[in-house]
Structure 1
Amino acid sequence: MKHKLSIVKIGGNIIEDPKGLTHLLGLFSKLDGYKILVHGGGKKATEIGNKLGIEAKMINGRRITDAQSLDVAIMVYGGLVSKKITAQLQALECNALGLSGADANAIHAHKRPVKEVDFGWVGDVDEVNSRGITKLLLAGFTPVFCALTHDGKGQLLNTNADTIASELSIGLSAEFETTLYYCFEKKGVLRDVEDENSVIQHINSKTYETLLADGIIADGMLPKMHNCFHALQNNVKQVCIGDSDMLLQTTSNFTTLTL
């Protein structure tokens, strides 16, 4: 019988809200079984970059990562945000270990090829070192991954944190019974974006197509949902989307996705 593993990805609005982050980390630290936390930090990177005179460049809502922007991402994701989170988890007696994809060769990626847009030093994941990460988990560590990968040739790459969470859950599904949680400021996927309580509690492949056709799932939710179903199609047991309270596991007011 496989051990249970929870992989929790936290959104930028939670990271930027000290009380909200403290609340989430408290719930995360109490999760049963093995666990991994994944975070980005794009808003903080933009803030720090502006202070340094390095303006964030976006195309269609996606960040362009030039050499200067990559340096800011490394500083903010792998340093400022990562270490603050690991320190808070240590205070909660959760033995956290802050990692990038380069540490322990955890997540190998390649630079995204230039097509219509040159995204710069952005990485697309090739492989997760499930064996190495499993060793860390079994040794009692709780990995905390930031949104950085590497290409094996000395180059760090900025990589979407939702994608990292999805690829980690897939890579570790052979060893663990894996549930992937996407935590953000909403209670779940909403039927009406103006109504915070219009949570769609269950979405499967069939209902997903209907929600797409009706335009209920659109814009920024589209890439997140792609990552969700990509994980489910690759042996991840379950994916959940909602606010921090879904980690209490005593409420059903969030969105669960299955095939």
Structure 2
Amino acid sequence: MKPKLSIIKIGGNVIENPKNLSHTLELFSQMDGHKILVHGGGKKATEVGNRLGIEAKMTNGRRITDAKSLDVAIMVYGGLVSKKITALLQALGCNALGMSGADANAIHAHKRPIKKVDFGWVGDVDGVNSDGISKLLLAGFTPVFCALTHDGNGQLFNTNADTIASELAIGMSTEFETTLYYCFEKKGVLRDVEDENSVIQHINSETYKALLDEEVIADGMLPKMHNCFHALNHNVKQVCIGDSDMLQKTSSNFTTLTL
């Protein structure tokens, strides 16, 4: 039987709220077994970039990463946000190790091909070094991944943190029974976005199609759900979506996705 692994991705609204971040990291540190944390930092990167006179460029909600923006992402994701989170986890007794995809050759990627839009230095994941990451986990470390990958030739890429979490869960499923958690400000996938209590507690492939047809799942939730089912279709046991309280053993008010 494979050992269990929990992979938790925290969103920008969690990272930007000190009280929420502290609560989330405390719950994360208390989770049993092997675990990995994944974080972004886009809002903070935009803030720091503005201070430096480097304006964030977006198209259809997606970030364009030119050379200067990549430098900001490296500084903010791999430095400012990563080290603050790892220090907070160390204070909670969790032996966190801040990492990018380049560290231990953990996440290999290639530059996204130019189609209708040139996204610049944005990477699409090719693979995960499950053997190397497994050694860190078994040695007692808790990897904390930022949203950076690399191509093995010295080039770093900005890569969507939801995608990194999904690809890590898939890659590590060869060694572990993996569960993926997407932790954000909502209690789960909502049937009515105006009603915080309208959490859909279970979604499978069939109900997912129905929710798409009904346009219950739309807009910003679409790429997140795509990552969820991409993971489930590649040996990830289950995916959970909700706020940080879902990380508690006693919690049940969140969305669980299975095939």
Residue matched to 1:214: 214
- Specify the alignment match of 1:78 in structure 2: 78
Between the aligned partners of 1:205 and 1:61, the Cα distance in structure 2 is 26
Q: Structure 1 regions of 5+ residues with no counterpart? A: none
**Superposed CA offset, 1:122-165 (max 9, x none):** 00000100000000000000000000000111000000000000
TM-superposition CA deviations, 1:179-201 (whole Å, max 9, x none): 00000000000000011111000
| Alpha-carbon distance in 2 for matches of 1:220, 1:119 | 18
Which residue of 2 is the match for residue 101 of structure 1? 101
Specify the code of the residue in structure 2 equivalent to 1:16: E
1:134 matched to 2:142? The reply is: no
Aligned length: 259
> How far apart, CA to CA, are the structure 2 residues paired with 1:213 and 1:117?
28
Pair 1:53-2:53 in alignment: yes
**Match runs of 1:119-158 below 5 Å:** 119-158=119-158
Aligned to 1:143, the other structure's residue is in SS state strand
Off by >4 Å, runs of 4+ in structure 1: none
Corresponding residue for residue 174 of structure 2: 174
- Output aligned runs, 1:34-53, within 5 Å: 34-53=34-53
1:233 aligns with 233
Letter matched to residue 128 of structure 2: V
Deviation, 1:2, is: 1.1
Counterpart residue number, 1:88 = 88
Provide the rounded CA distance (Å) in 1 between the counterparts of 2:90 and 2:28: 12
Higher mean C-alpha displacement, 244-253 vs 79-88: 244-253
SS of the equivalent of 2:101 reads coil
What is the alpha-carbon distance in structure 1 between the residues aligned to residue 37 and residue 78 of structure 2? 13
SS at match of 1:77: helix
CA offset digits 1:58-81 (Å, max 9, x no partner): 000000000000000000000000
SS in 1 for 2:76: helix
Task: Note the C-alpha offset of 1:88.
Answer: 0.3
In the alignment, which residue of structure 2 is the partner of 1:24? 24
Amino acid at match of 1:100: S
Please state how far the C-alpha of 1:249 moved relative to its aligned partner. 2.1
TM-score w.r.t. structure 1 length?
1.00
- AA aligned to 1:86 is T
Q: Distance in 1 between matches of 2:47 and 2:9?
A: 21
Matches of 1:51 and 1:249, distance apart in 2: 41
CA distance in 1: counterparts of 2:14 and 2:67, whole angstroms:
27
Report the Cα distance in structure 2 between the residues aligned to 1:27 and 1:191, rounded to whole angstroms. Answer: 26
Shift in Å, 1:257: 0.1
Cα deviations by residue, 1:186-239 (Å, 9 ceiling, x for unpaired): 000000001111100000000000000111101110110000001000110010
- Counterparts of 1:34 and 1:188 in 2: how far apart (Å)? 24
**1:140 and 1:230 mapped to 2: Cα distance?**
29
TM-score w.r.t. the length of structure 2 is 1.00
AA of the residue aligned to 2:125? V
Unaligned runs of 5+ in 2: none
1:159 aligned to 2:159?
Answer: yes
Q: Output the aligned Cα RMSD.
A: 0.4
Which residue does the alignment assign to 1:242?
A: 242
